[in-house]
Amino acid sequence: MGYVIDPPRQATLPIEGTEATFPIRRIYCIGRNYADHAIEMGHDPDREPPFFFQKNPDNVDVSGDFIYPPHTSDVHHEIEMIVALKSGGRNISLDDALSHVYGYGVGLDMTRRDLQGQMKKMGRPWEIGKAFEHSAPMGPLVPAEKIGHPDAGRVELKVNGDTRQTGDLNQMIWKVPEMINYLSEYYELAAGDLIMSGTPAGVAAVTKGDVMVGTVEGVGEISITVV
């Protein structure tokens, strides 16, 4: 039995050093996972239960460009470490969580902050501010078998050479095993899932022509131009 329309292209990420690619199934994004970012967004950084929102697989862009979106004048950068799963399941234990990780990468959670703020005030979902085209620029994945499971290391974003965001993976309120454990209580995780692990303080607006260079120590670097 054939399809009535052509199936959509499978969203993928490149794997560093190979011609292979990683097929993307879902993208889970944890909110306010660094205390200093929670404070700058006007929230209490105490360890409350985590919350997640989603981006769409086809929001991922590996071109090196970020296309400035419509209906906004306040697009913010959020540098994050990406966690890529090779397997999944339900009710994954903390001890077993890292065995499901294929590798790690560097990405940006680009946000139409003005539209997100409007939705918050109206008590509506955030998708219009988070899950839009090209809103997830990412670099290649690096297998965990090459770099292990980073739990410390500098996280940084520079815009036009000026440092905007700095933090350390060891400052994450919810660590990678805890995120996997928590998500698996509410969803059936699977191979191809990505987790965007949160951003440190310093989020701010970008304009066309800006060059964003983001690094996660021990994982990699991306360079993205706003066009």
Q: DSSP letters along 143-182, please?
A: EHHHH----S-EEEEEETTEEEEEEEGGGBSS-HHHHHHH
Sheet holding 220-226, edge to edge: 65-66, 220-226, 211-216, 154-159, 162-168
- Decide: 131 and 55 in contact? Cβ < 8 Å: yes
The three-class DSSP label of residue 126 is coil
DSSP 138: B
Query: Band of the pLDDT at 32, cuts 50, 70, 90?
Result: confident
Give per-residue pLDDT as tens, 52-94: 999 999 999 999 999 999 999 999 999 999 999 999 999 999 9
Answer yes or no: is pLDDT of 124 > 60: yes
- Decide: 214 and 224 in contact? Cβ < 8 Å: yes
Mean pLDDT of the chain: 95
Q: For residues 50 and 193, which has the higher predicted lDDT (pLDDT)? A: 193
Answer yes or no: is pLDDT of 17 > 80: yes
Report the distance separating Cα 114 and Cα 85, nearest Å: 32
